[in-house]
Structure formats: structure tokens, C-alpha cells
């Protein structure tokens, strides 16, 4: 690991350590851009894209107050007849898998910010004895290798952060699509069951009527057998 050493005693013409420290900071600022944390852990682009595409809200739960607010909203949605849109919104705000993706996005942002920060210079003071004299050596040491690789490390962390954001958006859309598909399947299954029950009742009535007509001679045995067979088919 390379280090920058400044000896203020051995080199009388050298700048004071604090000026060297300022110079190192200026170089670090030039090599790496200033990156700060977003207020919501990188969720704003996710929320904006989801809202624009499907008109639904996304929530990242980071406090007990937000958890309580989400639960209140879940209860409010469940008190009304559940529609496809309601089921999707319910899934987006009450899904642990999505919360894990949103938390991973926040962790990726923290790694991006950390990778964009320059290394901290170290200031040291040493006492050197040379014969009968005592000299004080002041040093400002900075990790030159870390400074030189700062832009590359920052770019890699930015790419990883953007990938985590796209993954969170994709997971949100996938959850919405799967929920809507499951809702329509459930509705179709319920309607099918209702239609089959109506058919069973009708077939039962038809079979009973045909049997009574057969007792009076108005219906043939073949008609009675067909009615009974149809009833047995829709009843299974």
C-alpha cells in the first residue's frame, strides 16, 4: 500500500501539514464526486415508476409508525369488496418479499455513498532524538492507492446501486402482475363453481320431472336415463 509522507522538519520549504491536508482533500474531491444519502433510501424512482405505470403506491417500512399506518390501510382495504386493483394495492404494501428488496436497495445506496468517500488522511506526531537535540516530526499520511482508485470504485458502486433499484422495480411489477392474475383466477373459479351449482340444480329438477313423466307414461325410459346421466355428470 502506497503512502504519502510529509516531513515538516526535514524539508523546511514544505507546506505546513494542515495545508497538505487541504491539498489532499482537494485532490480527493476532484477524483470522486460528492454523493449523499437520499431521504428515502433510493425509493423515490421506484415509487415514481410504479405509480406512473400501474397507478399504485409502494411503501418501505422503516419505523413502527409506518408499520401501524400500513396495517391501518390494509384493514381499510379489507373492509370493502375486494377488486383486482384493491388486491394489487394490498399486495404491494403488505408483502415481506418486497420489503426485503426495498431494504436491499437502501443497503446498496449506503455502499455507494461509502465507496464515493475519499480515505481519511492520518496526522501523526513523532519525537526523534538526534545526538543532543530533540526534533518533532509531523506527518500527514494518505492512502494514495485508495485515492487513485476512488473513481473506479465509485462507478462500480453506482452501477450496483442502479441494478438494485431496477431489481426492486421489477419485483414490484412482478408482484402486481402475479396478484392480479391470482385474483382473476379466484374469481373465475368462484364463478365456475356457481355455474356448476346452478347446472346441478337444473339437472336435478329435470331428472325429477322426467322421472315423474315416466311414471305417467309421458316420457320414455331413454329420456329418463339421459336426464339421470346428465345430473350425475354435473354433480361430480
- Residues 59-79 pLDDT 10s: 999 999 999 999 999 999 999
Mean pLDDT score of the chain = 78
How confident is the model over 97-120, as a mean pLDDT?
Answer: 90
* Residue 137, beta-bridge partner list: 126
Cβ-Cβ contacts under 8 Å for 232 (sequence gap 6 or more) = none
Q: Is pLDDT larger for residue 47 or for residue 208?
A: 47
In terms of DSSP H, where are the helices of 55-118?
64-78, 84-93, 96-115
Q: Report pLDDT digits (tens) over 173-213.
A: 999 999 999 999 998 887 777 766 776 777 677 667 777 77
Angstrom distance (rounded) from CA 100 to CA 77: 23
Is the distance from CB of 9 to CB of 136 less than 8 angstroms?
yes
Angstrom distance (rounded) from CA 189 to CA 55: 27
Q: Report pLDDT digits (tens) over 132-146.
A: 555 555 555 556 777
As to burial, measured by CB atoms within 10 angstroms (0-12 exposed, 13-18 middle, 19+ buried), residue 89 is buried
Q: pLDDT tier at 5 (50, 70, 90 boundaries)?
A: very low
Q: What local confidence, expressed as pLDDT, does residue 134 receive?
A: 54
**Which DSSP state fits 124?**
E
Amino acid at each position: 500500500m502506497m503512502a504519502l509522507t510529509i516531513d515538516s522538519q526535514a524539508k523546511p520549504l514544505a507546506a505546513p501539514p494542515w495545508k497538505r491536508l487541504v491539498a489532499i482533500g482537494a485532490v480527493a474531491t476532484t477524483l470522486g464526486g460528492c454523493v449523499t444519502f437520499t431521504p428515502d433510501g433510493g425509493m423515490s424512482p421506484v415509487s415514481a415508476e410504479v405509480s406512473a405505470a400501474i397507478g399504485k403506491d409502494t411503501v418501505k417500512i422503516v419505523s413502527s409508525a409506518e408499520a401501524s399506518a400500513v396495517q391501518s390501510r390494509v384493514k381499510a382495504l379489507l373492509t370493502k369488496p375486494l377488486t383486482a386493483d384493491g388486491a394489487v394495492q394490498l399486495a404491494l404494501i403488505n408483502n415481506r418479499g418486497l420489503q426485503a428488496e426495498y431494504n436491499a436497495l437502501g443497503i446498496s445506496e449506503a455502499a455507494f455513498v461509502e465507496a464515493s468517500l475519499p480515505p481519511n488522511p492520518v496526522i501523526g506526531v513523532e519525537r526523534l532524538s538526534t545526538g543532543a537535540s530533540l526534533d518533532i516530526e509531523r506527518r500527514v499520511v494518505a492512502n494514495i492507492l485508495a485515492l487513485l482508485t476512488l473513481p473506479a470504485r465509485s462507478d462500480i458502486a453506482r452501477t450496483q446501486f442502479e441494478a438494485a433499484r431496477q431489481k426492486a422495480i421489477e419485483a414490484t411489477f412482478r408482484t402486481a402482475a402475479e396478484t392480479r392474475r391470482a385474483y382473476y383466477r379466484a374469481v373465475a373459479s368462484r364463478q365456475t363453481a356457481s355455474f356448476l351449482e346452478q347446472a346441478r340444480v337444473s339437472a336435478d329438477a329435470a331428472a325429477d320431472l322426467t322421472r315423474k313423466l315416466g311414471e305417467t307414461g309421458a316420457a320414455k325410459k331413454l329420456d329418463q336415463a339421459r336426464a339421470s346421466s346428465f345430473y350425475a355428470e354435473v354433480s361430480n
